[in-house]
Structures are given as C-alpha cells and as structure tokens.
C-alpha cells in the first residue's frame, strides 16, 4: 500500500508541476527554487529527528541478548535509511538549483517535469517515515509490556507468598 502511495506521489508531482508551469511559466524562477529545495531539507530534518529519537531506545531496559541484537540491527538500518534520504535530498537540492539556473531548462517542459519528479521523490520519503516511527515504537512497546507483566507477576507472587505466611502465623497450632 505504501509502495503504491509513494509511486502515485512520484507520478502526480511532476504532472502538477508541469500543469503549474503551463499556467505560470515564472514558477521556475530562481527564488521559487529555494522554496522547492526546502521541501527536501524538511524531509531530511524529519528523518534526522527519527534517527535522534530512535537512539534513545538503545538504553531500553529488560532486553535479552536476542532482542538487543535485533534492536541494534533495526537502529543500524534506520541510520542507513536516514543517511540515504540525506544523500537523496542533497542531490535533489543541487538538481533543483541546477535546473532553476539553466535558462534552457526553465523555458522547456523538461524543467518542471524534472523538478516535479525530484519533489515527488522527497515527499514520497515523508510518507514512509511515520511507518518507521511505528516500527521502532512497536518494538519498544512489546518490550515494555513484557517487563510490566513480569513486574506485576512478581508483585502478585510476593503478595500471595506474604498472604500464606500471614495465614500460617495466625493459624492455631
């Protein structure tokens, strides 16, 4: 489902950019390119925030060795994804700027389609990042729930054993 949503965004963004360019050819001015490049900065900032928040999970209490290994692999994968988004964002910002300063590209229909494609790629990553948040926090919630159940079980067992001791002490011999 996410794949289809991302694909739709990547296809729709160039179409909308081209339609906007046909209505207002000055859409591809150098000043507007700064704002369109800012979309990529925002997406990468959002992804970097995810990476920073996911680093807090490394100190999650109650992990056994297998879960700790799984968490380390998951966090390494997320770091890789975030740096990939950063690289794509940097390349896209440069490409948007390059298209914006080339007069031949600004005056042809290739320019808005190329910029729309780059913007579509950036926005499609913004759609995926909330799923990554869910992936990380569902893992941590499972561990926290297990630890909470374990703690409640220990408290209940202690109360039961204390109750038996009290009952034995109060029973006539």
Is the torsion defined by CA of 108, 112, 117, 121 positive or negative? positive
Mean pLDDT score, 139-158: 83
Mean pLDDT score, 107-121: 84
Full-model pTM: 0.67
Query: Tokens in use for 54?
Result: 């996911």
| Domain of residue 80, residue span | 2-170
Does residue 170 surpass a pLDDT of 70?
no
Q: What is the pLDDT of residues 70-92, one digit of tens each?
A: 878 888 888 888 888 888 888 88
Residues 6+ apart with CB under 8 A from 42: 126
Q: What is the pLDDT of residues 23-46, one digit of tens each?
A: 888 777 767 777 777 787 888 888
What pLDDT does 102 receive?
Answer: 79
Number of structural domains in the chain:
1
Residues 6+ apart with CB under 8 A from 29: 100, 106
Question: 61 versus 171: which is more confidently predicted?
Answer: 61
Query: 48: burial class by Cβ within 10 Å (0-12, 13-18, 19+)?
Result: middle
């Amino acid at each position: 489902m996410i794949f289809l949503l991302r694909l739709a965004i990547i296809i729709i963004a160039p179409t909308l950019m081209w339609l906007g360019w046909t209505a207002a050819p000055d859409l591809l001015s150098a000043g507007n390119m700064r704002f369109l490049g800012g979309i990529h900065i925002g997406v990468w900032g959002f992804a970097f925030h995810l990476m920073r928040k996911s680093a807090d999970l490394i100190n999650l209490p109650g992990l056994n060795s297998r879960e700790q290994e799984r968490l380390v692999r998951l966090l390494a994968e997320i770091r890789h994804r975030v740096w990939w988004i950063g690289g794509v964002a940097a390349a896209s910002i440069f490409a948007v700027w390059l298209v914006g300063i080339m007069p031949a590209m600004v005056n042809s229909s290739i320019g808005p389609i190329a910029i729309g494609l780059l913007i579509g790629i950036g926005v499609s990553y913004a759609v995926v990042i909330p799923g990554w948040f869910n992936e990380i926090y569902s893992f941590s919630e499972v561990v926290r729930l297990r630890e909470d159940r374990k703690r409640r079980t220990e408290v209940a067992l202690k109360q039961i054993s204390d109750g038996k001791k009290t009952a034995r002490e109060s029973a006539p011999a």
